[in-house]
Amino acid sequence: MSASPFKTRIFSGIQPSGGLTLGNYLGALKRFVEKQDEGIETVYCMVDMHAITVWQDPAKLRQQTREGAAAFIAAGIDPARSILFNQSQVTAHAELGWIFNCIARMGWMSRMTQFKDKAGKNSENVSLGLFAYPSLMAADILAYKATHVPVGDDQKQHLELCRDIAIKFNNDYGVDFFPVVEPVIEGAATRVMSLRDGTKKMSKSDPSDQSRINLTDDADTIAKKIRKAKTDPEPLPDNLNDLKDRPEAKNLVNIYAALAGHTPEQVIADFAGAQFGTFKPALADLAVAKLEPITLEMNRLMQDPSEIDRILGQGADRAEAIARPIVDQVYDIVGMIRSRGR
């Protein structure tokens, strides 16, 4: 990776704001595992404090946090090699988030498209936390001085803001303290789209369950959802360019490519001229083959919630050991007195 003076460290997180989707898997989780397996230091987090920017039922939030952690492990995250925890157990995130609220500018936050999408016409009535979300996200990353952040394409703007916050902090205080992080947005499925509308991102909070594949869906449900996925009447073309104005078809080709570990070009070469009556069953078989083992392992892990809590607690201890000294140095830099226990 880059020749930065900062040690290469990966951080990323997923909100337990619902069950994880195929979008979270292909855009994030699968790539988190690849980074771990490349031997890079990896810190991964269920960002429960982000989840409550939209009201969550407390019992469901706990369940979704455990389920998300189970998905990480079932997908191949090894809690001995990666640090895996839930955000609220490491207070450094909230503390640095406040400092960054004082660094980030209102104008920067106002330009965030995800806030505009989520708030819609209701922006006077959504939580202040939803507006400030990207500065907490910057704190998540920079509390570890992480240098690289694997995410889906929808998070690109938030990562640009994280870079702006790091640069402004360094400039305001005349230090070279925070790294300017690199987004890692790669692969065939950086933006998996809804199965009902190829112009909308697949999302765990979409009101329609048919719009997404959940990591908890069984084989029949996955096959049914793919069979019913919106498409058009044309067969698949023999080149990618001809998918330009066919968002639903393009989405299914990208999903196939990401699941198979091929490029979209290879998929088009294999299925040129095929009708969806042929392509969809092939995609369903592939999706079931890749996802079913993860779902089964998640179910097994969920039988023992206290073991998941133990893993998250141990991960939080390891995360705290990295983040605490970094946030203490931030307090020193900004001029806070820290005299307790002296």
CB of 340 to ligand AQP, least distance (A): 34
Residue whose token pair is 């803001």: 161
Window contacting ligand AQP (CB under 6 A); options: 20-28, 164-172, 312-320, 321-329 = 20-28
Nearer to ligand AQP, 190 or 231 (CB): 190
Q: Residue 118 catalytic?
A: yes
Nearest CA-CA partner of 62 in 94, 17, 99, 25:
17
Secondary structure element (H or E) that encloses residue 281, with its range: helix 276-302
Secondary structure element (H or E) that encloses residue 14, with its range: strand 9-14
> Is residue 28 close enough to count as binding ligand AQP by CB under 6 A?
yes
Size of the site for ligand AQP (CB under 6 A): 22
Nearest CA-CA partner of 279 in 241, 227, 244, 335:
227
Window contacting ligand AQP (CB under 6 A); options: 26-34, 265-273, 293-301, 324-332 = 26-34
> Is residue 204 close enough to count as binding ligand AQP by CB under 6 A?
yes
Can you give the C-alpha Rg of the chain in angstroms?
21
CA distance 264 to 185: 16
- Among 10, 24, 88, 96, which residue sits at the site for ligand AQP (rule: CB under 6 A)? 24
- Among 23, 179, 187, 315, which residue sits at the site for ligand AQP (rule: CB under 6 A)? 23
Strand order in the sheet with 41-46: 83-86, 41-46, 9-14, 148-150, 182-184
> Is residue 251 close enough to count as binding ligand AQP by CB under 6 A?
no
- Among 205, 208, 239, 329, which residue sits at the site for ligand AQP (rule: CB under 6 A)? 205
Give the contact letters, 127-156, x = binds to ligand AQP (CB under 6 A), - = no: ------------------------xx-xx-
> Is residue 21 close enough to count as binding ligand AQP by CB under 6 A?
yes
The answer to whether 205 and 17 are in contact (CB under 8 A) is yes
CA distance 273 to 61: 45
Nearer to ligand AQP, 73 or 202 (CB): 202
Q: Residue 121 catalytic?
A: no
- Among 99, 166, 202, 294, which residue sits at the site for ligand AQP (rule: CB under 6 A)? 202
What are the phi and psi torsion angles at 184 (to 5°)? -115, 95
Contacts of 190 (CB under 8 A, 6+ apart): 27, 152, 153
Q: Residue 116 catalytic?
A: no
* Contact footprint for ligand AQP (CB under 6 A): 14-15, 17-18, 21, 23-24, 26-28, 151-152, 154-155, 190-192, 201-205
What is the set of active-site residues?
Answer: 118, 201, 204
